[in-house]
A and B are shown apart, each in its own frame.
Chain A
Amino acid sequence: MTTLAEFSIDSHQLLDEHGQPTQETWPAFANDVEQLRHLYRLMMLNRLVDKKAVALQRTGKMGTYPSSFGQEAIATGIAFAMQEEDVFVPFYRDYAAMLHRGMRIEEIYSYWGGDERGSCFVNNPRDFPFSVPIASQLLHATGVATAFKLRQQPHVVVATCGDGGTSEGDFYEALNVAGTWQLPIVFVVNNNQWAISVPLSKQTQCQTLAQKAIAAGFSGVQVDGCDVIAMQMITEQAVTRARSGQGPTLIEAVCYRLCDHTTADDATRYQPSIEVEAAMAKEPIRRLRTYLTQQGAWDDQQEQALSQDIEQQITQAVDNYTHQARQPLTAMFDYLYAELPHSLIAQREQVA
């Protein structure tokens, strides 16, 4: 017998659930408290934008909404690991990265409020809109990465999906082509343990989701998805490798979905409360606040000022969203094709 292949999966955590460093040496960016405050502010923005979205839905001002409560560190780490010219291909719990890269708060509310203009991304023409069908967006990401590679552009694609998405054929097909063609791409799996009501244990027998990269010929790594510092560090490393032609990486960000799947769901039907409580103690924002406070880099006054600033932004965004002129009925025919085919003109006139 000869062993032809072996693999190992590393797991990374720099800031533990109590807000204490797990090792003496940190990456350079993490020694700059101002950068840590940026991470903190973005996670807070994500959380409060989320909270308002749920409130808007509960009061009938918006449609079904998938929250990202407890998962804010993942997209925040991604946000600071990417460059502007890179392309982000999200699923639907990546608000931090999308906001940081230019999506307006009111665009989030518009999209989930049933208005196509939410995906206009007027401040960020590059990135992809939310992808509701599971894992199919990962293939678009490989296509974008292929275009970058064929044109020898020095850009990287970062694409996300959930743990349930790793059971989809498109997930494996995307990883396979990314590995085969050594594409400049980073896959980030938000492993929040739940695909609606199906726990990870019923999704896979794999010890980690990161190891799914091994079969595609590249490396996978697990990160504490509630540790924003580790998230930024690992994503940055993967993005740098991709940019320098060293191919793809799969990052499994382990966290917990501390919210319903969407506002149309009731997670108390299936999430054990003891498990939720344990996960709540590990959530990402509190642990960074603890650390920053201990460093003398954050205090109640700053916290209050930040909250006020974000609330103001949100109030303005809600105002913009609710006062946005409705699309005309004919909007459903807009952008269906570059030019409306002759045969559709009569149908359009029915609503004109």
Chain B
Amino acid sequence: MPEITLVEAVNQALHYEMRHDDDVVVMGEDVALNGGVFRATVGLLEQFGEQRVLDTPLAESMIAGLAIGMGTQGLKPVAEFQFMGFIYPAINQIINHAARMRNRTRGRLTCPLVFRAPCGGGIRAPEHHSESTEALFAHIPGLRVVIPSSPTRAYGLLLAAIRDPDPVIFLEPKRIYRLIKHDVMDNGEALPLDTCFILREGTDITLVSWGASVHETMQAADQLATQGIHAEVIDVATVKPLDIDTISKSVAKTGRLVIVHEAARSGGIGAEIAAEIAERNLMDILAPIQRVTGFDTIMPYFQLEQHYIPSVDRILQAVHQTLESS
């Protein structure tokens, strides 16, 4: 099995699905000739031609609206937004149309499409290139929001997203696009959506995260293990709809919960998880639930971004506070 990076896994999943499903069409700015600014779509134009790999005009609302129209005709568009910071012109299309087309036509017209976008900070990019606003989309009924945290999950979850008959916002944490390599079998096997992944089992505390922050969370768990503290680490992966059952079962076992996410704190998905666990696990909880998150500030420009993104130290500090107060 070849070792590949997360962005290569995305590329491999696109190749696989385009080979096996003629309805899959890749589209967006710079996706064809240039292979995407992160090279996620490299090689697709050469293999599948310009009928299936479309460089679009530069207009995000149009990319979304076009994909919606194509989706209603049974095509399966995988549309790329170059950065999450540029997805906002498409919000009307995503919320008012993609998310509700099936519902408002009572299943007559549907949107089997994927909107891909690189998300998050950590690559010393210019302003507007580093935000994590998944909670905006997670609030919207009718959408799925998926964020892989490894090459393996990027491959399996992207295949699942393309095969899903409803619109999926697929957010790729660009900080880890090339950070790690995994052995990924290119066998076309999808991973389940709407399901958390338990990355590490433990009994003392539950650490919940998604996207790039899963890495700092795993590092924290490793350090805790050397101190005899056994953390259970959960990668949420699909942040909408939320698999709260898996998290709830874990908290029932450990009695402690720390949620780690790069996005701003208020109104975030961490808040939703904390509220659900408070409703379900009140009698299990031994200490206040803690969140380690980005601050409620504008994402700072890259000189300060490392101080915004949750660090291993901040996670460890929250874990120790939780353990001390229980």
- Which residue numbers of A lie inside 8 Å of B, CB to CB? 89, 116-117, 119-121, 125, 128-129, 133, 136, 138-148, 150-151, 169-170, 173-174, 176-177, 180, 334-338, 341-344
Contacts and interface: CB of A to CB of B under 8 A. Distances in A.
Given A176-B57, A336-B142, A140 B102 contact: no
B245 A120 contact: no
29 contacts: A116-B106, A125-B108, A133-B92, A133-B97, A136-B96, A138-B65, A139-B64, A139-B93, A140-B69, A140-B72, A142-B69, A143-B70, A143-B73, A144-B69, A144-B70, A146-B66, A147-B75, A148-B73, A173-B57, A177-B56, A177-B59, A335-B102, A336-B103, A336-B142, A337-B102, A337-B144, A342-B241, A343-B241, A344-B241
B106 A120 contact: yes
Contacts of A334: 103, 106-107
A217 to B, nearest CB: 11
B214 interface: no
A143 B68 contact: yes
B297 interface: no
A139 B142 CA distance: 20
A169 B61 contact: yes
Contacts of A120: 105-106, 108
Contacts of A143: 65-73
Given A136-B93, A140-B68, A147-B70, A338 B241 contact: no
Interface of B: 25, 51-52, 56-57, 59, 61-62, 64-75, 89, 92-93, 96-97, 102-110, 141-142, 144, 164-166, 194, 241-245
Nearest to A141: B69
A343 B248 CA distance: 12
Q: DSSP class of A's interface residues: helix, strand, loop or mixed?
A: helix
B112 to A, nearest CB: 9
Contact of A336 (B68, B93, B102, B108): B102
Contacts of B245: 342-343
Interface pairs A-B: 10 shortest CB-CB: A143-B69, A139-B65, A147-B73, A173-B62, A140-B69, A341-B241, A338-B165, A143-B66, A143-B70, A173-B59
Given A147-B75, A335-B107, 11 more contacts: A120-B108, A128-B72, A133-B92, A142-B65, A147-B70, A150-B51, A173-B65, A336-B142, A341-B194, A342-B194, A343-B194
Contact of B105 (A129, A145, A151, A170): A129
Contacts of B70: 143-144, 146-147
Given A128-B109, A136-B96, A176-B59, A146 B102 contact: no
Contact of A170 (B61, B67, B243): B61
A303 B169 CA distance: 55
A148 B66 CA distance: 12
B102 A173 contact: no
A52 to B, nearest CB: 24
Contacts of A128: 72, 109
Contacts of A141: 69
Contacts of B104: 116, 119, 129
Contact of A144 (B25, B57, B72): B72
Given A173-B61, A343-B194, A344-B241, A116 B103 contact: yes
B96 A133 contact: yes
A173 B61 CA distance: 8
Contacts of B62: 139, 142, 170, 173-174, 176-177
A150 B97 CA distance: 23
A340 to B, nearest CB: 9
A117 B108 CA distance: 10
Nearest to B167: A337
A142 B66 contact: yes
Contacts of B67: 143
Contacts of A174: 62, 65
Contacts of B75: 147, 150
B312 to A, nearest CB: 31
